[in-house]
Chains A and B, each alone.
Chain A
Amino acid sequence: DVKVTQSSRYLVKRTGEKVFLECVQDMDHENMFWYRQDPGLGLRLIYFSYDVKMKEKGDIPEGYSVSREKKERFSLILESASTNQTSMYLCASLGLARDTQYFGPGTRLTVL
């Protein structure tokens, strides 16, 4: 079974703090994704990566950056957290077969 893990289930940060969200997958998948999920807006793609050190902007990249130094790990960085970044953050990975995205359990981030 594919396993995607995220570093924290719940996180509380203050406005202006730098926040790191970590995601690790154990299936040697090339593609990894970061989404945020908000009521009424669904899942929105922030960034994705199709290979180590490669990244592409999704639909809402503003205020975020990412890092993919190793194939199994994809990090989302909030350089200066703001209250409108309070959300559920979901990481996903996808193999070459491209048939299923596997999601991590999510990190519920609250920015005060």
Chain B
Amino acid sequence: RKEVEQDPGPFNVPEGATVAFNCTYSNSASQSFFWYRQDCRKEPKLLMSVYSSGNEDGRFTAQLNRASQYISLLIRDSKLSDSATYLCVVRGGGNKLTFGTGTQLKVEL
């Protein structure tokens, strides 16, 4: 079983749609959780951290369910500029991050 699993997509959605991505992780001792965004042929960049209580940043909402070892990202009112690959990232002990393979989002007119 992979340490971090994501549906690879692609998710093709119209502009304005709401889309949700899910991610599961296998290490119950994982301490920190993140969503990174990677544009085509670019490096990954932090989108947002994921906190136990859930957190929101504009149109983006992240949720963590420790009991089910599950992380989600919700994007409301999708924009063309949201088209990218979204990487679920988990930190266990120490400074090592484990990346999911990413979920590709394509927002269309």
Which A residues are within 8 Å of any B CB, using their own CB?
31, 33, 35, 40-43, 45, 48, 50, 58, 90, 94, 98-101, 103-106
Number of A-B residue pairs having CB atoms within 8 Å of each other in the complex: 40
Q: Is the interface of B mostly helix, strand, loop or mixed?
A: strand
> A41-B101, A42-B87 are contacts. A105–B42 as well, Cβ < 8 Å?
yes
Bound complex: CA of A72 vs CA of B45, how far in Å? 20
Number of interface residues of B (CB under 8 A): 18
Bound complex: CA of A94 vs CA of B95, how far in Å? 8
A89 shortest CB reach to chain B, Å = 11
Which B residues are within 8 Å of any A CB, using their own CB?
8, 32, 42-46, 49, 87, 91, 95-102
Bound complex: CA of A42 vs CA of B4, how far in Å? 10
Contact present for B99 and A103 (CB under 8 Å): no
Partner among B42, B97, B101, B102 whose Cβ is within 8 Å of the Cβ of A101: B97
